Structure formats: structure tokens, C-alpha cells
Chains A and B, each alone.
Chain A
Amino acid sequence: MPRWGMVIDLDKCTGCQACTVACKVENNVPHGSPEEQTSRREIYWNKVIAATRGRYPRVKTELIPMPCMHCDNAPCVTVCPAIATYRRADGIIMQNFRRCIGCKYCMVACPYGVRSFNFKEQESKEYQRQDRPPDRTVWGPWPFPTRTHGVVEKCTFCFHLIDQGIKEGKRIGEEVVPACVEACPANARFFGDLDDTRSQVSRLLSSRGSIRLREELVTKPKVYYLLQ
């Protein structure tokens, strides 16, 4: 079984937010509004943060794209009372909207703030893909989730693309990648099997020093960052 992971090269990232937008389009995440962003109620499956160190004129700003870390020891999976958040055999942490009761315990437990709560009944014009409206007859997480307000959402590593690619016999990580990896104009993101020594992500990880975010919490994230 593969163990999907992501490698993000901070040296290449320009902070253009193409990953954020591509994620919203692919997963039909509502685009939100400026007011929602200031009140922190907008749904983000992928975000880009900027961390500054030092003082002007000796200052350094680093841009860190943050999808869900898909931790091996995911605190959200431990705390979810309804098994709405669970780990697939390939290591992807999934969120089942049908099981989610909206207790928001996972949002409290997540050390990376990758989880968003759906605060309102979204109007159809707020969705990215007008051509693919939310399907209310299908209860599975895909095709487009039966999005109701009151459930917690998060990045799924575009599991639907991966599953589809495996079915079609394509090479995952090269021919088929999550939307954020595909959209990155700077080629800063890589996706692949962390257990496969021949995969691109393994080669990259052995070539340079890498970190994972908040490793002191021993959540063992599967998103690695190559340092500048």
C-alpha cells in the first residue's frame, strides 16, 4: 500500500496562492467574501501563511503553503467521536460529511488550523463550479460533497483524482497529482508515495534538509518542507 505524502519546496514557492485557488475550484469550496475572511469564517482547504523574522532592514519573510498535513498520528482522528474523520489505508485523513455531527472538537485539536467549519447554507453562486452544482442525491464525499452547513471540512489530498488515476492505471505523482500540485506555476509542490524509494518525493527528501511543521507535537505529518 502506498503512503501518500507531499513535499513543498520553500525555495521555489512565490506565494502566488495558485494552490489555494486551484483547491477551491477542484473541490468546489465556496469562495467566501472579504467580510467572512475578516471574521475568520471562510472555508480554506489550503492556505498560504507568511512568517516574518527579524526587524527592518534585516528582515526575512517566509511563505508557507499549508494543506492538511495528513498526520500519521492525527489528533483529529483521535478526538472525533463519530468516526467522521478517519484514516484511509493509504494514509489520507478523510472527512465524512454524512457522519460529521459538527461538534468542532477536531478543530480544537488540530495543531495546524487546517480545518474549517461551514458556517452557513451556501448559495449556489458562491460555489466555484457553476457547471457542477453540489449533488444532493449522493451521500458519499465525492462527486461534489453534499455540502450542508454545520459540518467540518478539510483537504483530502484530492483523493478522488488519486482513486480515479489508480483505476485508469496512471502513475500517481507524475501523471496524476492533487490540484494544488498541478496548479503550482513555480513547481514547488510534489506529490507521491513516501514509502517508494524511487518516487520523486523520496528522492527530494534524501537530497536536501527538510522539516515538518510543529514536529514537537509528534503528530508525524506527511507534508514535508524543503528549506530555503
Chain B
Amino acid sequence: MSLTFTTLEGRSRGFYLFVATLVVLSLIGFISFAMSYIEGHKILGTSNVIPWGMPIIISIYLIGLSAGSLILSSLTYVFQKEEYRPIARMAVYMAIVLILGAMIGIALDLGRPDKTWRLFMFFVLNNMRSMFAINGILYGGYFAISLAYLAFILAEKPTATRAIGILAIVWASLVHMGTGAIFGFIAARPIFYSPIKPFEFLAAAMVSGLALLLITVMFVFKVAQRKFDKNMVFSLSRLLLALVIVLLVIVSVDKVTHLYSPHRDPTLWLLTGPFSWVFWGLQVGCAYILPLLLLLHPRSRKSIKGVLAATFSIIIGIFGERFVLVIPGTAHPLPFYPGKIEGVWGKAGSFSFAPAEFLMCLGIFALMGLFFLLGLKYLELLPGDESSEQIPVVAKNP
């Protein structure tokens, strides 16, 4: 194997400045979390109508990114596509960092984060009929499997890597389908309730995971001054196009079936109500239409800038997709009794922007960025610098 991997040098002023910024942002996030723990969740944007807020939105978003990223690493390690090998290690490491961020997000959203351990007392203190408890097994197992996967990759053991890679893609699919099932199995919330939800989540995971992987690879390779094969990017962007179409079909089927009774009213409210701009603007516009145009247009699909724009648009759009599922899904008033319910009990919930919640989420992103940078610096994730004649262990012996 001619391809070698190395660590990021990480000695420049810019690198340390970036790390310092991320540390500060993580600390700010931690302080906001400590405030929400001491004062209670009144400083967050949630209420009894909308019980789940930003941390849950970014958690399912990050789980999707992670699962998608891990599934794509299997292109190399399971399906033996050599052209993607330069980015595969980074994909696996990114998956680990993202699932860590997602688990932190879930823990921070709990009313009693000190009791997070109860989610992992499988079969002992857990109700295993609960999708949340089942997902505890899935997330915990996923974390362990992806760590082992990375260890085998770094130790360069191809047979073991392939074996655990197969397990990893199956498990990653289950992880995100399980996350979809958390929402899809709730009969009381018509916007959530759909058997297709797990598949929608899986498709969204692969779309967003691939988009983030492309952005990260292009960014890191540019900063670290590595050359990447443009054809690799374009072949991945063709895959991205196919995945976006799959996702668009699944979401359309979901929404169209929901336009029939008994889900009609909440769905119409979603499509035309106060959150419709998120649905049409972010989910449909940024996640589907704009990337489709960019990836289909003969000129933009052949340029790195066009692909980059499409992936950015997808990353923002899929976030909108998560938002427009969690918030309006619970905000629509429950029809307790036939007729119009008067007063606060019949009003749709409103989700207000809360600074503490925003900073908490920013902190999670900063922490993930920090872990990612440290991983680049201390693990051999980057392909070797072909332009220089140095040996790959350059970071240790400058």
C-alpha cells in the first residue's frame, strides 16, 4: 500500500489560536449548562408544550452526521473502493467525535443530567419497551464499535477492520433508524407518527454525513496543504445527488400520506403555519432544491465551488429538517376534545430563542471541533504529504 497516513503538524500560530477559541467556547457552553442545571430549565427555550428544544435538535442532527459518516467510511474498508481511502480514516474519527457530541447533547437536555447513567442500566433499571432505552444500547454499542473500528484501522489490520466495518455499518444504520423510531412511534403526535420515519432518518443521515465529510475533507486538506483528487470529490458528489433524491422521495411520501386524515390538520399547519418558512426555506429549499440544482447543473457540478456550495446548503437544510420535526411536531395543540379549545390549552406552543440554550449548543460544537483538531494532531488520520520528501512520522521528529 503506497498511501501513508500522518498526523497534522499543528504548530502554527493559527492552529493554537483556533484551539484556544474552541476551548473558550466550550467553557462558555459548560457555564451555560451549569446555569441551566442550577436554575432549572426555565432559562432554556422549552416549555410544557414544546418539551424538547435545541439540544435534542442538535443531538439527532449530530447522530445523523455521525452515522452517515461512518457508513461512508465503509466504502473503503468493506467495499474496497481504493479511491476513497485518503478520507476514510477521517470519516471514522469524525463519526466518533460526532456521536460523542450527540450523547453530550442528550445528557444536557435531561432535566436531571446527574442521572444520565440510568439510561445505560440495560435490562436492570430500564424499561426495554421504551425506544429511548433501546437507543441507549444502540448509542453505547455504536460508540464502542466505532472506537474499535478506528483502533483496527490505525493498527492496519485489514481483515479485522473489514469484519468490524460490516458490523459498524449495520449498527450505524440501526442507530439512526432507532433515532427515527423515537419520533416515528409516538401515536399522539401526528407530525412524528410515521412508519417511514426511521428510513427518512437513515437517508437524511447519509446525505448530511456525506455533505459534512466533503466539507471537512476539503477544508482540512486545504489548510494542511494536502492535494486531493478532484475526481474523488466529483464521484462522491454524484453519490450525494442520488442520496438527496432518495431523501426527497421519502420525505414527499411522508408528507403526502400525512395530508390525509387524521394527520391532515397538523400537517397543513406545518406547511402553512408559523414554522412553514423553516420547512419550505430550509428543509425543502436548502436541503433538496438548491443542492439538486447545483449538482445537476452541467457547470457547477464540475467545479469544486459548486460542490462546496451544495454541501453547505445541505448541512444547513438538514438542520432545518431536524428543527422542523422536533419543534412543530410538539407545538401543534393536542385535540383533547372536539371543537375549538379556548385559552392557553388550545394555543400552539411558541419556541423562543434562549441565549443559554444557544451557547450550550455552541459549546457542544466547539468541544467537538476541539476533539477533532486534537485527533488530527495526535492520530494518523491525514494522508501523507506527497510533495515533501519527509517520512510520515514528521510530527515527532521535526
Contact = CB atoms under 8 A, between A and B. Distances in A.
User: Is the A/B pair a real complex?
Assistant: yes
Interface in B95-132: 109-112, 115-116, 118-119, 125-127, 129-132
A121 B111 contact: no
A47 B340 contact: no
A150 B336 contact: no
B51 interface: yes
A205 interface: no
Interface in A53-93: 53, 60-62, 64, 66, 75, 77-83
A62 B339 contact: yes
Interface residues of B, number: 52
Contacts of A61: 342
Contact of A83 (B127, B262, B336, B338): B127
A50 B343 contact: yes
A75 B187 contact: yes
Contacts of B131: 79
Contacts of A116: 48
B158 interface: no
Interface stretch (B39-47, B77-85, B165-173, B210-218): B39-47
Contact of A49 (B126, B132, B345): B345
B349 interface: yes
29 contacts: A40-B344, A41-B47, A41-B48, A42-B48, A49-B346, A51-B336, A51-B342, A53-B339, A75-B187, A77-B127, A79-B186, A81-B132, A82-B119, A99-B115, A100-B115, A104-B52, A104-B109, A105-B182, A107-B48, A108-B188, A115-B48, A116-B48, A148-B112, A149-B41, A150-B40, A150-B110, A150-B112, A213-B337, A214-B335
Nearest to A121: B40
Given A79-B132, A81-B127, A41 B42 contact: yes
B40 A81 contact: no
A165 interface: no
Please provide the 9 A-B residue pairs with the shortest distance between their CB atoms, ordered closest to farther.
Answer: A102-B111, A150-B111, A149-B40, A120-B40, A111-B188, A104-B51, A51-B339, A81-B132, A81-B133
A49 B336 contact: yes
Contacts of B209: none
A110 interface: yes
Nearest to B115: A101
B334 interface: yes
A46 to B, nearest CB: 12
A141 interface: no
Contacts of A37: 344
Residue in B40, B46, B182, B330 whose Cβ sees the most chain A Cβ within 10 Å: B40
Contact of B49 (A40, A80, A151): A40
Given A49-B346, A113-B345, A82 B111 contact: no
B89 interface: no
A130 interface: no
B341 interface: yes
A161 interface: no
B320 interface: no
Interface in A100-156: 100-105, 107-113, 115-121, 148-152
Interface in A1-57: 37-42, 47, 49-53
Contacts of B119: 81-82, 101, 103
B369 interface: no
B136 interface: yes
B111 A83 contact: no
A54 to B, nearest CB: 8
Contacts of B345: 47, 49, 113
Contacts of B129: 78
A110 B186 CA distance: 9
Nearest to A211: B337
Contacts of B39: 120-121, 149
